[in-house]
Structure 1
Amino acid sequence: MIGRVTDSPGVLVLAATPIGHAADAPPRLATELAAADVVAAEDTRRLRRLASDLGVTVAGRVTSYFEGNEAARTPQLLEALQRGERVVLVTDAGMPSVSDPGYRLVTAAVAADVPITSVPGPSAVLTALAVSGLPVDRFCFEGFLPRKAGERTRRLAALAAEQRTMVFFEAPHRTAAALAAMAEVFGPDRAGAVCRELTKTHEEVRRGPLGELVDWAADGVRGEVTVVVAGADDTAQVSNDPDSLRAAVAELEESGMRRKDAIAAVADQAGLPKREVYQAVHVG
């Protein structure tokens, strides 16, 4: 039975969890897990192990909240919040909603005027940036690249002129292909870093030009992977003369991109309207 909605809603707590060592957990995480009315976890088994490592007994209700049930489970958690309960959301590692479940629940809570707070803590994005050796004064997080080669190339082409340092998550079995696509679109000399198993026993950070990282990854990559890539040099813009525009579009087409998308990407890099690139390609 659904309880009565109160005039005093509960609180949604987005709690960061360790990306490696349990000892990296913020002290407040244990307090929140122990006091929660509901703990929504991406993997309830991992939650139990984490609670055991922290010496915490989770007395509240534990429910799963992962990609497969996020849409269906969000209304239930929102009802709990509107009943005045304290809901703690945790994922397998890092901050909820950052390439992990949580965004749907956050937006639902915002729409319902439910208070939201956070237990700050470990982040693979910031950790990778800090150890990459690349500029960190300005950066952007791009999450996971598309799995399909054509879509991945189009996404990277749209970032070719990005001057901020870029951070990507990647699955280990797709890391070699992702690096190859980055080297093709950004150029093999663009600086990068592959951060593997951050804060764990087998932590490794491999730094170098993308071309060298492609060779390194050819034999396979294991573990959790975060890739950091230097932004474009502000002088590395596409020239706006017709021959250069045609060559840039042709290069992207050869990599598997549709002409329409290639024209749009080159226009963005050159800072030109798409119609001008289109005319250079089709009219000459």
Structure 2
Amino acid sequence: MKGGADDTAVLPSSSLRKGGRMKPLFPRGDGWVRLASLLGFLALWQFLAWLLQSTSLPAPAVVFGRVVDETVSLALPWHLAITLARVVVSFLLAMAIGTAIGIAMGRWRQLDLLLDGWLVLGLNIPALVTIILCYVWFGLNDAAAIFAVAVNKIPTVVVTVREGARAIDRNLMQVAHAYRLPRWRTLTRVYLPQLYPYLMAAARSGLSLIWKIVLVVELLGRSNGIGFQLNMFFQFFDIAGILAYTLVFAAIVLIVEAAALRPLERRLTRWRG
């Protein structure tokens, strides 16, 4: 506009803060948007259940009632706790091993060349094959199940962390060396902060993958856990049971994502401004 008119005049007054800066359209936070989306999903589910009138798609009230029944009988908490324990152990194992290998491959080129073929092989072997082989080699036990899940996840962690190690700013490392910072301080204040975004990306993608693989592991060779229960419900065509356990499991995933991973990522990367 001419004559020095305020360019922000074309914007709605509700979208401005003091000083002319943009204000979020949802002032109470993005949580309200996510909540509205979930409520819309429930409304669509209820409409389809009413429209189809089929046992293949029970209404939300039926499924939530089943959740209550399974919780009161302690079946759901028991199997959920077992599955979560397997997820946590597999996740920590995969992240620890994958991070160490990824940093080493990003730091030393010769090691990267040596292990790159192994890494490509690990990325392309189907998870189902790894699970079956682990059960055949080590037996139908928790150690084999956890090992199979971790082996499937480690290559993806390695790939992500390796790229982070390659992207480390060497100038910052040289400055730390010039100021003779102790190795531990250099690691925690200079090296790892640059690696945090890649570690968080590996953690978030890895956790989403591990949730799924653990269920397959339990379905194929364990006598407890969410995956085992889903298999039992499938054999009896119990759709309400399948949806009940699936919804609870999905709710746990959303809670972990919202209450743990997102706040942790914001805290670790806030130095980037």
Q: TM-score normalised to the size of structure 1?
A: 0.22
Structure with the higher fraction of residues in strand conformation: 1
Q: Which has the higher contact order (CA 8 A, sep 6+)?
A: 2
Q: Which has the larger radius of gyration?
A: 2
